[in-house]
Amino acid sequence: KLLLPLYCKQDIFIFYIQWLIFLLIGNTMKNTMLRKGLTIF
């Protein structure tokens, strides 16, 4: 199995970006729910 370093870095980078977006959306949704008086957790 040969893995290209560039491909691995790109893959990790994309995963990292998706994770950041997921956290951002999660925080936004949580804040919106709290403003409306609803609690998820």
Per the structure, the count of domains in the chain is: 1
Q: How confident is the model at residue 18 (pLDDT cuts 50, 70, 90)?
A: very high
Tell me: pLDDT of 30 over 90: no
Give me the pLDDT at residue 21, please: 94
pLDDT cut 70: percent of the chain above it: 71
Distance CA 19, CA 38 (A): 25
Distance CA 29, CA 3 (A): 38
Q: Which residues contact 30 (CB under 8 A, 6 or more apart)?
A: 40
17-21, 26-30, 31-35: the lowest-pLDDT one: 31-35
Tell me: pLDDT of 36 over 80: no
Residue 41 lies in a domain: no
- Predicted TM-score of the model (pTM): 0.53
Domain of 1? 1-36
